[in-house]
Structure 1
Amino acid sequence: MASAPKTNTAPPQQGQLKPNEKAGLLSQPKAVWAVFFASIIAFMGLGLVDPILPAIAEQLHASHSEVTLLFTSYNAVMAVAMLITGVISTRLGIKWTLLSGIVIIAVFSALGGFSNGIWTLVGLRGGWGLGNALFVATALSAIVSLSNSGTAKAIILYEAAIGLGISVGPLLGGWLGGMSWRGPFLGVAALMIIAFFGLFILMPKSTTPTGVKSRSSLMDPFRALKHRSLLVFGIAAALYNFGFFTLLAYAPFVMGLDEHGLGFVFLGWGVLLAITSVFMAPKMTEWFGTIKSMCLMLILFALLLVVMGIWTSTQWVIIAAVILAGALLGNNNTLITIAVMNAAPVERSTASAAYSFLRFIGGAVAPFTAGKLSEIYNPSVPFLVGGGFVVVSVLFIWANKKHINHVDNIGIGH
């Protein structure tokens, strides 16, 4: 009698999925968690510095607009550097690109802690932006390409790392800044050393850098922007980031709080950002669709900036508005990142680089503009102008809706 054909009944190995099975958000490979925890530490850097902006202005005898250049130089260099992240990562690989970014951040933040002038500090923050560009663009594409739970869930995990880093950072920054404004800069350097060894040990060497088969070129991000959908999201993000960085870089000057107080306010902001980016944004996508949800969050954020502009001299209004903004920004960050990753038929790392180039231009222009507007006019004007830019971003998205409607067909599990 002929025996029945054998079938492969061996159970899947640990960490592997059964055919057609998708992992949950928390069922990720070790490499994903290595990047996740390194991202938390990397994004602490942004929040660590925020509570000490008024102290830097006072102790280095700098104007508000000069101090806001710490954000402008950081974002400007990061915007330009985003264009070369693909070229570098496809040659070095994911792991060594991430490690290179971490080393650059550590060096420039440490040098910033030992600087004695505002212009030196502004220049060093630009170097910090270069390291952050290498890390941020590669971390996003790394988590997406290494994850086994789909693009949208991987992006949620990435946004959670951002939220956790941004929320813990201000608390630590307020504590270190209470001793000296130099403390947070040196604190970032120390945390980057921890991130370096964690990533070096836990993340395996990549054999196919950033998940692509061929090396990237400098022109790839510009070619990607020929896709109307990606260009629309990039320009909208640049406009929206004008309001985002007005709040982040300028609000500390009008709250009238010390380093510890600012640390607690931005802790609340970051906690809401983290919670909404992970739990609320996916639900909103299911209920209303990505585009409508994004527009709703942007409209509410614009209104919040207008409220801050009207009641700038009322301390509790500014504090409450900053904290509440965390919820709106957390939702929108996840929504727009999911949309960008699915907007055009290009490599995810290329899409991220092209989109980030445009959005950080807005982040570079906004802080210095906000500082100058307050000096020329009054402290209310920066918030009103920031709110106006966010409204324009909504109108721009809606005017180009036919070019981006397809992202609503991408589910959270894809």
Structure 2
Amino acid sequence: MSSEAHSLRTILKQTKSAYAVAFACVVAFMGIGLVDPILPAIASKLNATPSQVSLLFTSYMLMTGITMLVTGWLSSRIGPKPTMLFGLLAIIVFAFLGGMANSVTGIVWFRAGWGFGNAFFISTALAVIVSVASGGTAAAIVLYEAAIGLGMSVGPLLGGLLGGISWRGPFFGVSVLMAIAFLAVFVLLKDIPKPKKRTSILDPFRALGHPGLFTMAVTALLYNFGFFTLLAYSPFVLHMDEHSLGLVFFCWGVLLAITSVIVAPKLQEKFGSVSTLFAILFLLAIVLAYMGFGVGSQTGLVIAIVIAGGLLGIINTVLTTCSMDVAPVERAIASSAYSFVRFVGGAIAPWLAGKLSEWYSSSIPFYAGALAVLISMLALLIGRRHLSNLD
């Protein structure tokens, strides 16, 4: 994809339908980091341990990954727009119920419901944006990536602001914003024709039989271990209030957004996708190892987290692009297969990070995350011969 295709100018020249879906994407991806600043507050208010509170991420990701297997099946039968609206409605309901819960167990279950709805939405959103955006596929992807980056950055900031009032605030905030997104999609998005071919629930498993896609999925699974160790565990060792945590992860998200939209395509174009992944994964492993070594330095942790945001943005974009192009299957099926492995496998990281800190020390989760990222490089190396078509 050329630099011109990734110019931010493409974001300003889109249809109302594309903007409606993009806004919903922003709110959907806000949900990933929204609870970050309130994790310590939830642990304190509800007398829970870090590993128990981290289950908010685990249940969300696990349900998202499992549900990904049936999103294509449903979308091919009722159509993309009804599938998206169904997902948005589920998020509205379960985010509100999460805010009403009085126990960590209740929140964990409602976060799982949130992930259930999120899967139906995000699995369909990219394909819908591509079909309604002006300027071709490249322009649609840059709009989608920008929406993800904005959501990932604004989520922690909003979570910190609302969490400063009450830990319930972020849940109610998402419910309201998703209601607005639901209305925007319902009114502004034109009906999208159903796919000519109905998707089978078994199609994602068949797609994983392609060694290139399987390589990308395993690489993403291991990388996600490092990603969500940083995202879900670091708030507990920063020892900050909700507002400060929100600001730290806002800066993290801003850098993630910039690198995912602007830097990643340039690196892919100049060095190739696989070489870029090797280099940035290695840098991420170094940052995570440094966080384990310097876990007692609040300033050092903040700097490392923000730097990691830039690295994560590059890796996310390159992994997603590669997974869509590496196998001769429909993009929707490739996305379902890749996301299933990535989310389900990575779901254990938040819980295990909390447990490792309880069993050993506060440094160990970061070292474990760094090791997982290094193993992801090994998986990429082993399967490299199946990725020659990418570059």
Q: Report TM bin, short chain.
A: over 0.9
The CA deviation at 1:166 is 1.2
Change (3 A) 1:154 1:295: farther
Q: Tell me, in whole angstroms, the C-alpha distance in 2 between the residues paired with 1:148 and 1:182.
A: 39
Conserved? CA contact 2:6–2:142, under 8 Å: no
Conserved? CA contact 1:156–1:277, under 8 Å: no
Task: Work out which of the residue numbers 242, 245, 249 in structure 1 matches 2:225.
Answer: 242
Q: Which amino acid aligns with 2:312?
A: L
The CA deviation at 1:241 is 0.1
* Structural mapping, 1:93-172, within 5 Å: 93-147=79-133, 149-172=135-158
Q: Which amino acid aligns with 1:241?
A: N
Q: Tell me, in whole angstroms, the C-alpha distance in 2 between the residues paired with 1:148 and 1:234.
A: 30
How many residues of Structure 1 are paired with residues of Structure 2 in the alignment? 385
SS at 1:312 equivalent: coil
Q: Tell me, in whole angstroms, the C-alpha distance in 1 between the residues paired with 2:366 and 2:137.
A: 35
Instruction: Establish whether residue 61 from structure 1 lines up as the match of residue 61 from structure 2.
Output: no
Q: TM-score, normalised by structure 2?
A: 0.95
Q: How high is the sequence identity, in percent, across the aligned residues?
A: 53
The CA deviation at 1:265 is 0.2
Task: Work out which of the residue numbers 6, 18, 27 in structure 2 matches 1:41.
Answer: 27
Q: Which amino acid aligns with 1:72?
A: T
Conserved? CA contact 1:374–1:381, under 8 Å: yes
Q: Tell me, in whole angstroms, the C-alpha distance in 2 between the residues paired with 1:361 and 1:301.
A: 21
Q: Tell me, in whole angstroms, the C-alpha distance in 1 between the residues paired with 2:20 and 2:202.
A: 31
Instruction: Establish whether residue 75 from structure 1 lines up as the match of residue 61 from structure 2.
Output: yes
Match of 1:277 in 2: 260
Which ranges of structure 1 fall in alignment gaps of 5 or more residues?
1-20, 409-414
Change (3 A) 1:278 1:286: same
Which ranges of structure 2 fall in alignment gaps of 5 or more residues?
none
Q: Tell me, in whole angstroms, the C-alpha distance in 2 between the residues paired with 1:41 and 1:204.
A: 20
Q: Tell me, in whole angstroms, the C-alpha distance in 2 between the residues paired with 1:280 and 1:22.
A: 10
Q: Tell me, in whole angstroms, the C-alpha distance in 2 between the residues paired with 1:395 and 1:22.
A: 30
Match of 1:390 in 2: 373
Task: Work out which of the residue numbers 195, 204, 207 in structure 1 matches 2:190.
Answer: 204
Change (3 A) 1:149 1:285: farther
* Structural mapping, 1:7-406, within 5 Å: 25-26=10-11, 27-147=13-133, 149-207=135-193, 209=194, 212-406=195-389
Q: Tell me, in whole angstroms, the C-alpha distance in 2 between the residues paired with 1:320 and 1:149.
A: 37
Q: Tell me, in whole angstroms, the C-alpha distance in 2 between the residues paired with 1:384 and 1:292.
A: 24
Conserved? CA contact 1:22–1:149, under 8 Å: no
Higher Cα Rg: structure 1 or 2? 1
Q: Which amino acid aligns with 2:337?
A: A
More displaced 10-residue stretch of structure 1: 354-363 or 30-39: 30-39
List per-residue Cα deviations over 1:203-242 (Å, max 9, x = no partner): 00112x3xx3111111010111111111110111000000
Q: Tell me, in whole angstroms, the C-alpha distance in 1 between the residues paired with 2:243 and 2:30.
A: 16
The CA deviation at 1:158 is 1.5
Q: Report the structure, 1 or 2, having the larger helix content.
A: 2
